[in-house]
């Protein structure tokens, strides 16, 4: 099979021919139909995350069909269409797994980082961490839901019942979760790179009530803000536009250092909290909700062999929405 592999941090991906793997106990072999390109993949390539097993096949927004189950796997069945997310395996017995926080498992393994990813024609997945894909989505449209959508959804949950919601970094996750939040009757305010008129218009077209640069203040105080951009300086910026008792949710796996800020912008019971990974419950809740509210990803398709170009286009902000690789 063809794969795009990362040999070491800081390198470009390399096209390689690998044997099609055999599923072990509890695993399924999946023929990949589409795999989303996520900013976390950039963090892996750049060496911001260094616990992976090299060579790494990245990709954790995988949609495909089961072609072979491993021992003791009853579900999903052969030919079932499934999605494979970032969280790819957990121990099931640590204090986090047994208390509804499997996303914090001490021994967690992540797809496209510790486990085989989707920048390939075939991949392996733990059968427990395969989600059914709603019929409303084709393969390409479904792929970004598996991380951008899921992390966005968990971030939205952490924001509580905020009526006025700000989204910093209007990329793959933000454009998906904005649609869900608007469908729920919330007012969404979009913050982009300063001067990015194209992305701001994209946000307005999706139904955001306001769009501006991350250096601007919205017309009214916000109940919550989600920071998707990996820029620590946006944390105090978001705190400054919050109303009392508001929450800033940090939705990324990696962020540059947060600069010091005066206590006055945190006071009055404002909260800053991070989001780590996702749970299976998030996936089982979000995917049907996305279909119910008609959440649609703006996708840009690249052949598998052009994964490096897709990643650089993502880094440079050359598109709105999400990139998807197709073998």
260 CB contacts (<8 Å, ≥6 apart)? none
Examine the domain organization and report whether 81 and 109 are in the same domain: yes
Same domain membership, residue 258 and residue 209: yes
Q: What is the CATH number of the domain that holds 19?
A: 3.90.180.10
Cα angle for residues 4, 125, 13 (degrees, 5° grid):
10
Do 267 and 287 have their domain in common?
no
- Written as six digits, the tokens of 81 are 């269409």
pLDDT digits (tens, 9 = 90+) for 250-307: 998 889 999 999 999 999 999 999 999 999 999 999 999 999 999 999 999 999 999 9
- Report the CATH number at residue 204: 3.40.50.720
Q: Can you point out the beta strands (E) in 169-294? A: 187-192, 210-213, 222-227, 242-250, 271-274
Q: Does 100 share its domain with 142?
A: yes
In whole angstroms, give the CA distance from residue 225 to residue 191. 10
What's the CA gap between 74 and 77, in Å, rounded? 6
CA distance 177 to 184: 11
Domain limit, last residue, from 257, 274, 291: 274
Same-domain status, 86 and 140: yes
Distance from C-alpha of 81 to C-alpha of 76, rounded to nearest angstrom:
9
* Separation between Cα atoms, residue 301 and residue 81, nearest integer Å: 20
Same domain, 171 and 93: no
Domain total of the chain:
2
Q: Determine the pLDDT at residue 206.
A: 96
Predicted model pTM: 0.91
Residues 91 and 127 in one domain: yes
Q: Are residues 291 and 159 in the same domain?
A: no
- Which of 51, 48, 41 has the alpha carbon at shortest distance from 5? 41
| Ranges in the chain, pLDDT < 70 | none
pLDDT of residue 53: 81
DSSP 172-184: HHHHHHHHHHHHT
The answer to whether residues 198 and 285 belong to one domain is: no
Percent of the chain's residues with pLDDT above 90: 96
19 and 61 co-located in one domain: yes
- What Å distances lie between residue 270 and 1, 151, 239, CA to CA? 51, 22, 8
User: Which residues are CB-contacts of 197 (< 8 A; sequence separation ≥ 6)?
Assistant: none
Q: What is the pLDDT of residue 178?
A: 97
**135 contacts: CB under 8 Å, gap ≥ 6:** none
Residues 136 and 190 in one domain: no
One domain for residues 135 and 282: yes
- The predicted pLDDT at position 243 comes to 98
Give the range of the structural domain holding residue 242, as residue numbers without chain letter.
150-274
């Amino acid at each position: 099979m063809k794969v795009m592999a990362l040999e070491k941090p800081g390198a470009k991906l390399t096209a390689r021919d690998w044997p099609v793997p055999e599923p072990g106990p509890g695993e399924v072999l999946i023929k990949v139909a589409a795999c989303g390109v996520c900013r976390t993949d950039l963090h892996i390539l750049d060496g911001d995350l260094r616990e992976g097993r090299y060579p790494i096949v990245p990709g954790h927004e995988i949609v495909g069909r089961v072609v072979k189950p491993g021992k003791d796997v009853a579900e999903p069945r052969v030919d079932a269409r499934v999605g494979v997310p970032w969280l790819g395996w957990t121990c099931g017995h640590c204090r986090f797994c047994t208390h509804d926080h499997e996303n914090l498992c001490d021994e967690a393994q992540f797809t496209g980082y510790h486990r085989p990813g989707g920048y390939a024609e075939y991949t392996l997945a733990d059968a427990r961490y395969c989600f059914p894909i709603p019929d409303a989505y084709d393969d390409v449209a479904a792929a970004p839901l598996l991380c951008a959508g899921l992390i966005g959804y968990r971030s939205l949950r952490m924001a509580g019942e905020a009526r006025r919601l700000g989204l910093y970094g209007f990329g793959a996750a933000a454009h998906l979760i904005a649609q869900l939040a608007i469908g729920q009757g919330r007012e969404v305010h979009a913050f982009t790179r300063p001067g990015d008129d194209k992305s701001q218009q994209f946000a307005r077209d999706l139904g955001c009530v306001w769009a501006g640069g991350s250096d601007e203040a919205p017309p009214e105080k916000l109940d919550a803000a989600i920071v998707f951009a990996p820029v620590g300086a946006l944390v105090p910026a978001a705190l400054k536009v919050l109303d009392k008792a508001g929450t800033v949710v940090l939705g990324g796996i990696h962020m540059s250092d947060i600069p010091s800020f005066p206590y006055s912008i945190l006071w009055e019971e404002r909260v800053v909290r991070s989001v780590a990974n996702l749970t299976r419950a998030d996936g089982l809740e979000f995917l049907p909700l996305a279909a119910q509210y008609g959440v649609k990803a703006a996708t840009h398709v690249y052949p598998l062999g052009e994964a490096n170009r897709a990643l650089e286009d993502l880094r440079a902000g050359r598109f709105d929405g999400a990139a998807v690789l197709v073998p």
